[in-house]
Amino acid sequence: MTAHLNTESPVGGLFEEERSAEIVNARITADADPRLREVMSVLTRHLHAAIKEIEPTHEEWFKAIEFLTQTGHMCTDWRQEYILLSDVLGVTMLVDAINHRRPSGATPNTILGPFYVADAPHYENGANICLDGKGEPTLVSGRVLDTHGNPIAGATLDIWQTNDDGFYDVQQKGLQPEYNLRGLFTTDADGFYAFRTVKPRHYPVPADGPVGKLLGQLGRHPNRAAHMHFIVTAPGYDQVITHIFTPDCPYLHEDTVFGVKKELIAEFTTQDDAATAQRYDLQVPYLAVNWDFVLNPA
Ligand code: BEZ
Ligand code: FE
């Protein structure tokens, strides 16, 4: 006598192409963490929908698996290829936008990137963070304000950028002075800050791994629009992780990680004011950027 098999299981049933995502998601048990359930069931639904649209061959699917494997192998304590993948797919900026919706007038966030180093030297206002003497001297100054225009005294600005060759100090250990183009500054009683640096230039994200290869295969360049990084912090205010972009960079409208926001494009003006030049030990003419940061209450 043939056994009667019940194919209608309470956990979604046997695999069917039509209902594939629903069947997989039905396996999640009632005691699973609700947020994990939501995340995994949405991801499963979209992944199955993508596979149904793409209809990959086995070889193509294996290429995708190999790409993810190589991306994992590229990761070290220092190099995070998955974050780079998230960056070039615009996902890092999207997650940040969702988590930092600020009122108009407040300085927006942009991408942090992998080259931030904690514990940079703390300087007096007006100090020069360019230790290798390369590049166009630039005076950056302004105020840190609240959303009503009041100055915030004691705010910290943590600043970093590449040198004029397009590399961070940590990418050229032994070649560049340690902490070249990095520094911490504190605003005075008027919320004022100032530092000397050089005009930043565009540079490529690390492109020698699977993500760089993918960019090449997609006809995409690896370049970031020229920028300076800032983390601005003050007690009682939302921390701002942001950049200032140069207005004349050829990659301004095609930053490979989608980090440019129009509110972050600064003016770099040529100045010949002898008194300011003398005060900051600059030669005339020099470049200047006047830039205020506006913090939202925490
Ligand atoms: C950066 O701006 O330092 C950066 C951001 C994303 C990927 C690589 C570098
Ligand atoms: Fe950068």
Residues 50, 116 within the same domain: no
The Cα 210–Cα 85 span in angstroms is 9
> Per-residue pLDDT tens for 254-296?
999 999 999 999 999 999 999 999 999 999 999 999 999 999 9
Q: Whose CA is nearest to atom 1 of ligand 1?
A: 113
Pocket test for ligand 1, best of 83, 86, 95, 112 (most atoms within 8 A of CB): 112
Q: Whose CA is nearest to atom 3 of ligand 1?
A: 113
The Cα 47–Cα 86 span in angstroms is 16
Q: Is the CB of 268 under 6 A from ligand 1?
A: no
* CB-CB contact of 183 with 124 (8 Å): no
Q: pLDDT 10s digit of each residue in the chain, 298 long?
A: 444 555 556 677 899 999 999 999 999 999 999 999 999 999 999 999 999 999 999 999 999 999 999 999 999 998 999 999 999 999 999 999 999 999 999 999 999 999 999 999 999 999 999 999 999 999 999 999 999 999 999 999 999 999 999 999 999 999 999 999 999 999 999 999 999 999 999 999 999 999 999 999 999 999 999 999 999 999 999 999 999 999 999 999 999 999 999 999 999 999 999 999 999 999 999 999 999 999 999 9
Residues 26, 147 within the same domain: no
Q: Is the CB of 146 under 6 A from ligand 1?
A: no
Residues 100, 245 within the same domain: yes
Residues 173, 38 within the same domain: no
pLDDT at 12: 76
Q: Is residue 66 part of a domain?
A: no
Q: Is the CB of 167 under 6 A from ligand 1?
A: no
Q: Whose CA is nearest to atom 7 of ligand 1?
A: 113
Element (H, E) at 35: helix 34-54
Q: Long-range CB contacts (< 8 A, 24+ apart) of 97-104? A: 100/238, 102/238, 102/296, 103/147, 103/296
Residues 145, 203 within the same domain: yes
The Cα 191–Cα 202 span in angstroms is 30
Quote the ligand 2 centre to 220 CA distance (angstroms): 18
- Closest CA relative to residue 166, chosen from 115, 97, 100: 115
> Per-residue pLDDT tens for 23-45?
999 999 999 999 999 999 999 99
Task: Identify the domain containing residue 47 by its residue range.
Answer: 20-55
Q: Is residue 62 part of a domain?
A: no
Q: Report the amino acid identity of residue 53.
A: E
Query: What ligand 1 atom has the least distance to the C-alpha of 243?
Result: 2
Pocket test for ligand 1, best of 93, 181, 205 (most atoms within 8 A of CB): 205
Residues 200, 104 within the same domain: yes
Quote the ligand 2 centre to 158 CA distance (angstroms): 13
Quote the ligand 1 centre to 259 CA distance (angstroms): 9
- Closest CA relative to residue 239, chosen from 144, 162, 161, 148: 144
pLDDT at 2: 47
Q: What is the CATH number of the domain that holds 159?
A: 2.60.130.10
Residues 43, 91 within the same domain: no
